[in-house]
Chain A
Amino acid sequence: MLRVHRPGLMTTVQDAGRVGAYHLGMPPSGAMDRFSFSVANLLVGNTDAHAALECTYLGPEIEFTEPAHIAVTGADMPLKINGEPVDGWTCHAVSPGEVVSFDFLKAGARAYLAVSGGIDVPPVLGSRSTYTLTGTGGLDGRALREGDELKTGAAATSAAAGASVPEELRTVHPSQVELRVVVGLASYRLVPESLAAFFTTDWRVTPDANRVGYRYRGGAIEFVDRTPPAGAGSDPANVVDIGYPVGSIQVPGGSEPIALLHDAVTAGGYATIATIISADLGRAGQSRTNDVTRFVEVTLEEALTARHELAARLTRVHEALGAG
């Protein structure tokens, strides 16, 4: 069992996400940085089917009551066991009574703490991921609190303390990030100069950025004049309400783009102009408030290549850990 001494700022149970209910308004949730999540699970002998803890900005302090293997990946949030610094991206054995804690975040936004056997909470719609808005999944559908107790599932025997991900396969988190996007959706609502400027502007992540979406400041977007189509309403930033892909970028009011992430609102009436490619969603989720972001246009083919490269990197981690 895991006993939560301090919950951190926003620590939630997450897995690979919930699919099949987007048409009912249910976003996938799940780990914001899928690569780091998968690697943390691999290090402790788990699979993607196991849930881990996503620790945002400030890590928790957790006591283990049973022996377990743990690993922390993702954000650079230095890990300590019983107050002693230990390496990230590495499998560690913890003994009953030992306490896991973190130093201040150094880079990135979200650390993944995986525990052998996975965090055992009841799956909802096929996933253990926490979606706080409707209190779905995770531990009672909410972030961890002081005094919470978490069970773990049956651990595989393949975890090996000391196993570590080679430096070159770990993720680094610069404070200036580039996110690749495919242009489309309602991009036709923008004037050409605005779409061009979108890609040359330094966008700064606002403090309200969370799992639902990231809002950015730094420029203005101008829409093409038009007679509002039936049902759209008179605001030039509006279209007839439509589905929003995860990763899609909308521009309410023409000034503050919002990129929707894993707890996305699933539909609405704002014109969306582009979508972050799947390979870069993790990088978006590791950017943090006040960071500078540039959006870079890519083709669909480049997006697919990036997706395959990320999958290949995970395969290399597998091989390096001898788990492949």
Chain B
Amino acid sequence: MAEHIVHAPFPGVFYRRPDPESPPFVNESDTVASGSVVGLIEVMKMFQEIRSEADGTVTEFLVENEAAVDAGQPLMRLT
């Protein structure tokens, strides 16, 4: 099965949830469709949605919630 990596398109802080009270956008073993929101990155006082560019199942998160991420850094693995 083809593996797909979701990358951080720009640097900032990665969030798995839309807000602290809500459940995560996606969990491990969830299936995601191309174009669906899988996280947020906060930078320059803006929260930007991060979308998957492929259909797949989340097999692994490669960064923690609220981790500082750099542009191009792998965020999660899909198969």
Interface residues of A (CB under 8 A from B): 9-10, 56-58, 104-106, 207-210, 288-290
Contacts and interface: CB of A to CB of B under 8 A. Distances in A.
Interface in B36-72: 42-46, 48, 68, 70-72
Nearest to B7: A104
Interface in B12-36: 12-13
A64 to B, nearest CB: 23
B52 to A, nearest CB: 16
B7 A9 contact: no
Given A57-B71, A58-B71, A104-B71, A290 B11 contact: yes
Secondary structure type dominating chain A contacts? loop
Contact of B10 (A9, A106, A209): A9
B10 A207 contact: no
Chain A CB within 10 A, most for which of B42, B44, B68:
B44
B11 A210 contact: no
Given A58-B10, A105-B11, A207-B12, A9 B72 contact: no
A207 B43 contact: yes
Nearest to B12: A207
A57 B43 contact: yes
A105 B53 CA distance: 18
Nearest first, the 9 closest Cβ-Cβ pairs linking A and B are A104-B72, A57-B10, A105-B71, A210-B44, A58-B10, A290-B68, A104-B71, A207-B13, A208-B45
Contacts of B7: 104
Contacts of B70: 290
B44 A208 contact: yes
Contacts of A208: 42-45
A208 B12 CA distance: 9
A20 B44 CA distance: 27
B79 to A, nearest CB: 22
A105 B68 contact: no
